Copies of this chain bind each other. A is one copy, B any other.
Amino acid sequence: MPQNVYDDPDFFAAYAGLHRQQQGLAGAPEWPAMRAMLPDDLTGRRVLDLGCGYGWLARWAEDAGAEGVVAVDVSTRMLDRARSFADGGRIEYVLADLDEYSPDGPCDVVVSSLTLHYVADLDRLLRACASSLTPGGRFVASCEHPIYLAPYEPRFVERPGGHEWPVSGYQREGRREVEWLGHEGVVKFHRRIDTYLGALRSAGLALTDLVEWGPSDDDLVEHPEWAPELERPMILLLGATPAHDDAHDDA
């Protein structure tokens, strides 16, 4: 049975209050880096959004001219909220567990924001995506960076002049249960960076981009409270394309 804390009303209320949910892509500081990995023009493209949440990425893709967008989430409550922003357009909302979901037809772009670390069987999901991606297609995803996710007790510790992020368990991949927004036992899966790269390769996807996102100097002027983010990366961004296309592009 899939984990679905989002259908818990208390959790959902807390989640709905997050800056990131209220502000959409403008509230996601890593969005410019993710945008840079996506095709310049989405006109006529079929886009798949894995773990769509409020649907910000799906609506961005629709606005950017996508021919159709499939937005998948495990939470009925989340999909209802997404529909409340935009319904009846070119976005199809699909209720599904990403540990079982496979795309229902070809797509040109797969996007996924901060979702892969909730997926238990990443190899299966990436293979399913790869087999649906058209030649020259793009897979672009963000997830929690393993430095952020690995520790058995994730937290900042103050030190003279700054913060430290004590890492533990980096080489012990797998299940982590953390408290989030007052909800105990939120389940995530820690994977090393080389494991992500191996999963992409095994699925037939060639890495095009890898970014260990951190705030820029400009970000810090606007948000000085983000300074601790310089001590460790929170978000890993991955871009890939079907391997044989990549070879043809270069040849």
Contacts and interface: CB of A to CB of B under 8 A. Distances in A.
Contacts of A151: 164
Indicate how many identical chains form the complex.
2
Given A193-B210, A207-B207, A247-B251, A168 B172 contact: no
Contact of A165 (B152, B168, B230): B168
A94 interface: no
Interface string A149-174: 00111000101001111111111100
Interface residues on chain A, size class: 35 or more
A166 B167 CA distance: 6
B210 A197 contact: yes
A211 interface: yes
A194 interface: yes
Interface of A: 147, 151-153, 157, 159, 162-172, 192-194, 197, 207, 210-212, 214-215, 229-233, 243-244, 246-251
